[in-house]
Amino acid sequence: MRIIRTVSWVESRHGTGSGNFPAHDPMQCGNPNDAWWKSLIAPAASTVDRFIRGPGATPNYDANELPSAMESNANFPAEAKLSFLIRRTDGHSDTRFNQKTDFFWAIPFLIHKINTSVANGKTYKCDDCTKVRMINGADAYNGGGEATYKAQIEAAWNLIGGPSILENELEFSPDVFEMTVADVDEEWIKTALEITGDFETDGDPWKQVTSNDDGQGISCGILQWCIGQESLQPKVKACGRETVRSLMPVYGEQFWQACNGSLAEGMRIVVGWQNKQGGRYSINPPPILKELQDFCVSPRNETATS
């Protein structure tokens, strides 16, 4: 949320300042002259932006294929679908362009740029939230049209209270910034997560458990927190041992040990739950998968809510 606020502030002062049609395009994703909007409405692929989904999730999409894919996505708001516009080529000057159009096309693009601004980055590969990674991704979101954009992003990030370049722990001081999570409709957040999760997973994104096909041991939940990148372990630890064991009565103790020991030990445990055949991993026996899915969707665990 912090980097989204940062970009929104730089682009339009949260819809109150600079930019074209700022009130309904606070992140300025709908500028018909910008490369991102042009790539969305292009009749054929004309962009290097290819949205790569998680292992086993198909298909992947070029940017111009996304609008059609979202037309059939029940989780995508009707007001955000490009078919809702009178004339797509007008972008945010179209009278039906609204904040949902902006947020639901800008935020996935920003996440894509953050995740692909590093070597071998893929759309689905969420990693740490260090300042340098967030700012480089935001700069890529801008597309190089403004020479001072990166400096503006860094200044706004510091104003909001983002972490320093070496910090991963996010601490936010709402008194220095007028917009908080409370200002955002919870259904918007849920829908945005589900759309983002759709790139990460196949099927119900909230209960998705992915095997070791990408070398990360296992990946769980809507944003595919994983053992290999050590993003799943903090979520499991936050639940507490007894909660994990109650949600996973047979395999909970092993799961707890996998998330509280060394990375090598954790990988050994979760890869040991899997069979490899034809170059692909599968989680066996099936009760392990069922318990992991139950853990993912339980409101008592942070992967279901954060």
Query: How confident is the prediction along the chain (306 residues), in pLDDT tens digits per residue?
Result: 788 888 988 888 766 666 778 888 889 999 999 989 999 998 875 666 889 888 778 899 999 999 999 999 888 999 999 999 999 999 999 999 999 999 999 999 999 999 998 888 888 888 777 888 999 999 999 877 788 999 999 888 887 765 554 344 444 444 434 444 455 566 666 666 666 655 555 567 788 898 998 889 999 887 788 999 899 999 999 999 999 999 999 999 999 999 999 999 999 999 999 999 888 899 988 899 999 999 988 865 655 444
0.85 surpassed by pTM: no
Q: How high is the pLDDT of residue 177?
A: 40
Q: How high is the pLDDT of residue 45?
A: 58
Q: Which two tokens stand for residue 132?
A: 């340098």
Reference 117, options 166, 156, 164, 150; nearest CA is 150
Q: How high is the pLDDT of residue 21?
A: 84
To 10 degrees, what angle do helices 131-142 and 149-160 make? Answer: 140
How far apart (Å, rounded) are the C-alpha atoms in residues 303 and 129? 17
Domain ranges of the chain: 2-183, 204-304
Q: How high is the pLDDT of residue 42?
A: 86
How far apart (Å, rounded) are the C-alpha atoms in residues 72 and 93? 25
DSSP string covering 122-138: -TT------HHHHHHHH
- For residue 162, give the DSSP letter: -
Bridge partners of residue 62, in order along the sequence: 50
Q: How high is the pLDDT of residue 221?
A: 84
